Chains A and B, each alone.
Chain A
Amino acid sequence: MSLFAIVRCDHANAPVKFHCLQVLALALVLCASGCIVIPTPEFNSGQARGNITKETPAQFEVGKTTRAELVLALGEPDAVSPDEHIWAYRSEKIRAIVCFAGYTTAACGPITKDLYLLLQFNEQGVLQKIESSSHWFTSADSDKMLPAAAGSKAATTDASLSARLQKPAFWLKGVDGYKPRGAAQMRGLPGKLLLTDANLQFFADVPKGEFANIAPTGPELILPFAAITAVRVDSYGFGGRRLVVRTSANEAHSFEISKGFFNDAEALQSFAEFIQGKINR
């Protein structure tokens, strides 16, 4: 069979993330190691929406089409930025099936190509820019595609300006370090922990699967340093660390700051020392 049959190179469809040469090289490597690539007619994978094609952008007019007109034509977007200025649509097409065979086992899977449509609107909701791009084999990261959606939310911007320390973190409400029994297995709420000169703030991330535009507009937790009576870093097992603060109302809050697979002991210590310095005053 022809290796070249699986690749439909489309240089006009820039920016193509996976170039033709790379696809050919990969196919060559795969086939040399005992696999078959079966080209298929392009069809929707069924997992993503199927109503986005390369011809879709031509339906809309920059400077004229409104957000309402666009959504009436294409349906609910797949992602939006917190300010709703950027909308994204994604379709996933299967272009070939690849089968690997060993001495005793065999497995097959699809070769997919994602098509993305990014639409930018102005304050009045009028289309300003359309960009289409494609991605082979895996999906592009929606957080990178819509950078504003990657952070906790737009509301963190003001707080970030006055923050002395800030890190992505997990908040365990009402948890006192690794106590009581079972607390070690608890997973906190993901978000961002900020320390300003006056208080501790925690901003929750947008829940997975929700549109970024419905993010809450304020911090989930604000603890003035005057209300914090004690701070410490608790350890547990191999590398487990949590920042623990206790308040004058006898409430406990724990925070985890991760660095790769482990807790960031250095960052936790810095946060603890900063808070300690504030509550000693």
Chain B
Amino acid sequence: MKNVECRSDPDPITVLFWVVLVLTLGACAAAPLKGNATLLDFLMDGKTSRAEVLTTLGQPSGRFENDQILTYRLGFEAKNSGYYVVEREVMPTATWPTWMQAKYSLVLVFDDTGVLSKHSLVKVN
């Protein structure tokens, strides 16, 4: 007696159902959080150097008084209370920058030796 293996091609409707289901559930998957709750923990007045700041946060959005004052624009992720750096935004038709992505302005003031002397996180929007 022979075992008969029955094979049938998958029903196209079933395939379509699974594809749609997978895509739909994929869309529901949470996007990775942008914010980092410990992003600014390294900042310590009297200790942190300008080089450390540039290495950690990247290029600032503003540089003033020969780099003695650096400013960063920060977005805020409520889900993890985390900050993330955003670029300066200017609408194509406008001459003034907007603050739609950034909620905070991080201001860093350095002394003559390039060490952080004062900093503040200003809620802007």
Contacts and interface: CB of A to CB of B under 8 A. Distances in A.
B124 interface: yes
Interface string B32-51: 00000000000000000000
A8 interface: no
B107 A139 contact: no
Given A48-B98, A74-B122, A209 B64 contact: no
A68 interface: yes
Which of B61, B64, B73 counts the most chain A CB atoms within 10 A? Answer: B64
Interface stretch (B2-10, B19-27, B87-95): B87-95
Contacts of B64: 67, 71, 80, 84, 213
A160 interface: no
Given A47-B99, A78-B97, A143-B95, A68 B122 contact: no
Interface in B55-98: 61-65, 68-69, 71-73, 88-91, 94-98
Contact of A49 (B65, B69, B118, B125): B125
Contact of A67 (B65, B90, B94): B65
A76 B61 contact: yes
B107 A75 contact: yes
A132 B68 CA distance: 27
Contacts of B88: 209-210
B109 A72 contact: yes
Interface string A32-49: 000000000000101111
Given A46-B100, A214-B63, A67 B69 contact: yes
Contacts of B65: 67-68, 84, 125
Which of B61, B94, B125 counts the most chain A CB atoms within 10 A? Answer: B125
> Range of interface residues on chain B?
20 to 34
Contact of A76 (B91, B94, B100, B105): B105
A211 interface: yes
Contacts, number: 84
B124 A49 contact: yes
Nearest to B68: A68
Given A76-B107, A79-B96, A90-B96, A46 B90 contact: no
A61 B96 CA distance: 26
A139 B94 contact: yes
B110 to A, nearest CB: 10
A72 B118 contact: yes
A157 interface: no
B117 to A, nearest CB: 9
A67 B66 CA distance: 13
B107 A71 contact: yes
18 contacts: A47-B98, A47-B99, A49-B99, A49-B124, A50-B124, A51-B124, A67-B64, A72-B109, A75-B71, A75-B124, A76-B62, A76-B72, A79-B96, A90-B96, A139-B96, A142-B96, A209-B89, A210-B88
List 5 A-B pairs, minimum CB-CB distance, nearest first: A75-B105, A209-B90, A75-B122, A76-B71, A142-B95
Given A142-B95, A214-B63, 11 more contacts: A46-B100, A47-B98, A51-B125, A67-B65, A68-B109, A71-B109, A73-B120, A73-B122, A76-B72, A90-B96, A139-B96
